[in-house]
Chain A
């Protein structure tokens, strides 16, 4: 008896599509609960040595970056060539020291997701507020969501409220329900 092999051996449609993914032209909405009612937006970035808070105006005053990339949802859709704008995590963490190797992102509404810090720093992750030239819609995580496009999209926490570094890899919401702690779409890291 051979174990589950996933879809890695399936014929590939487009080399930009990771294994087991199909090309989606719309933008499906997936959320585990209601869209939160955010009365006053504030972003907190924290390590074991310090914490920074950003008001909406503070956040928009930071250096902004345009990101053109593909996104991949674990439910098997991918969108190619999407355009986003926001602030690099390198900018947000600038000046905060840490020995931690992991981080937990927390959202308005209570959602959480965990990531290795190496996947958040080094030009790999942003907090974005604009999609295709328009303010990010609230059902897609507006006013601002975490954006980690090289991992499955559940890591790109909607309505992000804060990111805290962690000494250990502590499971977030979906990770605690059986999803992979890392989530690389090219390795099909869907489930733990």
Chain B
């Protein structure tokens, strides 16, 4: 936005790329993994899946700092209640009362229990800060998931 003044006209083109995108014609099961606000583009896929009322299994794993930091809370609760998709949330700093999992970043054990097995052939969309995406994709590869099935979108520097 450098060099722009209020009132300057802007032209917008896009979206361009089409890689970090889920299409209703895609047949593979989908596992979305979001770190913090990285859930935003994943939510677009969730809404596209709901709008298409497709049958492809869809799961969302969301990592957030604390219960108060969750994104799209009520919308996801409604979708969960309607059985539209499975939503799992892990907390890195503070958990809700009575949570069996201690707060902390995602571990291999978390992923083993919260995402499909490698043989399920799921496509993974992972979005978040660069450190989160690097950590999660390393864990997925170590668990035996095909690196070619993992798509990433990152923000922030190292």
Contacts and interface: CB of A to CB of B under 8 A. Distances in A.
A and B co-occur in one complex: yes
Interface of B: 2-3, 11, 13, 16-20, 130, 134, 137-138, 140-141, 147-148, 150-152, 154-158
Interface stretch (A24-32, A60-68, A97-105, A118-126): A24-32
Contact of B19 (A4, A32, A137, A140): A32
Contact of A179 (B16, B140, B150, B152): B16
A31 B152 contact: yes
Interface of A: 4-5, 10-13, 22, 26-37, 109-110, 137, 139-140, 174, 177-179, 190-191
Given A10-B3, A174-B17, A34 B154 contact: no
Contacts, number: 67
Given A13-B2, A139-B130, A139-B134, A32 B147 contact: no
Contacts of B148: 33, 110
Contacts of A12: 3
The 3 closest A-B pairs by CB, nearest first: A34-B137, A26-B157, A11-B3
B154 A30 contact: yes
B95 to A, nearest CB: 28
Contact of A33 (B16, B151, B155, B156): B151
Contact of B18 (A22, A36, A177): A177
A177 B19 contact: yes
A140 B3 CA distance: 29
